[in-house]
């Protein structure tokens, strides 16, 4: 399927794609403390790329995301699965939540942990799965 021939849609998509990408990252990062997380963030990211694919065609959208969505799917699964390793190695248990704090001069205390690592894997898996389906539907 070709892109819709609409100047308004193409222009709006160029403005909305960065906003949706930023919003999806915000939802991802706040998800392990409040509602949101990897699943919803991945859906928002995929919806932005899907809108781009409608406006510009699936070929340009594929070039926008880089490697094939199946590659991203593998990366997301790897992230999600490997987030269990620190808990196992520390003796805390499978998928135990572990955190590391760092003091940054301008930002204050930054806490990173295995839950956000897992959420990032879910984010990539959901976005890649949705985009693989969307691209396939657009091509036929």
**Per-residue pLDDT tens digits for 88-104:** 888 888 888 888 888 87
Cα–Cα distance list, 115 to 37, 43, 61, 103 (Å): 10, 19, 30, 20
**Which residue range is the domain that position 120 belongs to?**
7-82+116-139
Is residue 29 situated within a structural domain?
yes
Is residue 14 situated within a structural domain?
yes
Domain count along the chain: 1
Is residue 100 situated within a structural domain?
no
Is residue 1 situated within a structural domain?
no
Query: Cα separation of 134 and 89, whole Å?
Result: 39
Is residue 77 situated within a structural domain?
yes
Query: Cα separation of 76 and 36, whole Å?
Result: 18
Q: In 10 A of CB 24, how many CB atoms?
A: 23
Query: Cα separation of 35 and 139, whole Å?
Result: 35
pTM, 2 dp: 0.86
**Per-residue pLDDT tens digits for 23-77:** 999 999 887 667 778 999 999 999 999 999 999 988 999 999 999 999 999 999 9
């Amino acid at each position: 399927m070709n892109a819709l021939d609409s100047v308004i849609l193409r222009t709006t998509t160029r403005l909305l794609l960065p906003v949706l990408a930023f919003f999806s990252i915000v939802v991802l990062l706040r998800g392990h403390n409040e509602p949101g997380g990897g699943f919803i963030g991945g859906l928002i990211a995929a919806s932005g790329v899907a809108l781009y694919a409608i406006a510009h065609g699936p070929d340009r959208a594929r070039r926008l995301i880089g490697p094939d969505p199946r590659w991203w799917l593998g990366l997301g699964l790897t992230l999600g699965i490997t987030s269990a390793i620190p808990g196992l190695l520390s003796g805390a248990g499978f998928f135990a939540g572990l955190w590391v704090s760092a003091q940054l001069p301008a930002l204050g205390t930054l806490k990173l942990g295995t839950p956000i690592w897992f959420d990032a894997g879910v984010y990539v898996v959901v976005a890649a799965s949705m985009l693989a389906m969307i691209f396939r539907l657009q091509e036929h």
